[in-house]
Amino acid sequence: MICSANTDVGMKRNVNQDTYILKTYSEKTCLCVVCDGMGGTRGGAEASKIAAEKFVSIIDDFISPYIGNKNKKLQGSDIKTVMLDALDQANTAVHDHALMHPTLRGMGTTLVAALVIQNTVFCVNVGDSRMYFMKGDRIKQITKDHSYVQYLLDIGQITEQEAENFPNKNIITRAVGTESSVKGDFIREGASEGTYMLLCSDGLTNFVSDEGIRDIVVGSDKKNLDQISLSLTVRRLIDCANENGGADNITALLVRF
């Protein structure tokens, strides 16, 4: 398993409000987090940083005793509990910070996080930052957006084609920190050898189609793929978003199993 991540302010913004954390615990265990802040320049940047760091700290405390200890086995039910608890604590940390600083009231952030153990991925998400799996000519969106556009799709008011150019595409229906509590989705997926996992903010997905993302990632696949090659692929994803307008911050985190 190899991993790489990068973030970019984009072509229109002055401040990057995205935060990512990529932490490797062992050869086949890592934690990936992407947050996209909202609530003004300062508020969005602080919200994403607070949420990501708090989330990671909770997972760290949970998983550290298991690393290198063959006598302790992680259980899926325990992982689900701790990941949802980490999300709750991240939400509380952002919400409490805003209450203590009136100028930051209403700040919040998306959050998508994946704990990878061997070939199993445990994911939580809130908002419209996404996780994808890619292999061969296939790309699959694993997470489901918590957005107004997705709501309209769900009730059949707009089509997939109409959603692509919907004027209020950036409106999300759930965020970390805007309320005293938040409900996140939990997903468990298996990943076969050769699968790519991508976590990203909407600064990528709003400017590069799913097919475009797939072509960049899968088109760069090599038999002896190394860290440098994967880093260049991440950079190509970001460059493509910038070439297509780059009107938002762009974050991409890529894992190859």
Q: Are 112 and 33 in contact (CB under 8 A)?
A: yes
Lookup result for tokens 């401040």: 15
pLDDT the model gives residue 77:
87
pLDDT the model gives residue 175:
97
Which stretches within the chain are classed as H helix? Answer: 41-63, 76-100, 148-154, 160-164, 202-205, 210-219, 227-243
Instruction: Copy the structure tokens of residue 67.
Output: 């690393």
Q: Are 227 and 248 in contact (CB under 8 A)?
A: no
Instruction: Copy the structure tokens of residue 6.
Output: 């990068």
d(CA 154, CA 151): 5
pLDDT the model gives residue 71:
73
User: What is the mean pLDDT of each successive set of 10 residues along the chain, which is 257 residues long?
Assistant: 97 97 95 94 93 98 86 84 98 97 94 96 98 96 96 93 84 96 98 97 97 94 85 98 97 97
Amino acid at 111: L
Q: Are 122 and 79 in contact (CB under 8 A)?
A: yes
Instruction: Copy the structure tokens of residue 118.
Output: 């061997």
Instruction: Copy the structure tokens of residue 208.
Output: 């590069």
Please state, in angstroms and as integers, the Cα–Cα distance from residue 137 to each residue in 27, 72, 150, 161, following that order.
Answer: 27, 38, 25, 21
pLDDT the model gives residue 234:
98
Q: Are 204 and 213 in contact (CB under 8 A)?
A: yes
Look at residue 29 and give its three-state secondary structure.
Answer: strand
Q: Nearest CA to 89 among 65, 66, 113? A: 113
Instruction: Copy the structure tokens of residue 40.
Output: 């003004």
pLDDT the model gives residue 133:
98
What does the DSSP 8-state code read for residue 206? T
Look at residue 2 and give its three-state secondary structure.
Answer: strand
Instruction: Copy the structure tokens of residue 106.
Output: 């209403």
Q: Nearest CA to 105 among 43, 150, 62? A: 43
pLDDT the model gives residue 202:
97
Cβ neighbors of 97 (< 8 A, separation 6 or more) are 46, 47, 50, 104, 107, 177
Give me the phi and psi of 160, to 5 degrees please: -60, -40
Lookup result for tokens 């300062």: 42
Q: How far apart are the first and last CA of the chain?
A: 5
- pTM for the complete prediction? 0.95
pLDDT the model gives residue 167:
83
pLDDT the model gives residue 224:
76
Cβ neighbors of 160 (< 8 A, separation 6 or more) are 153
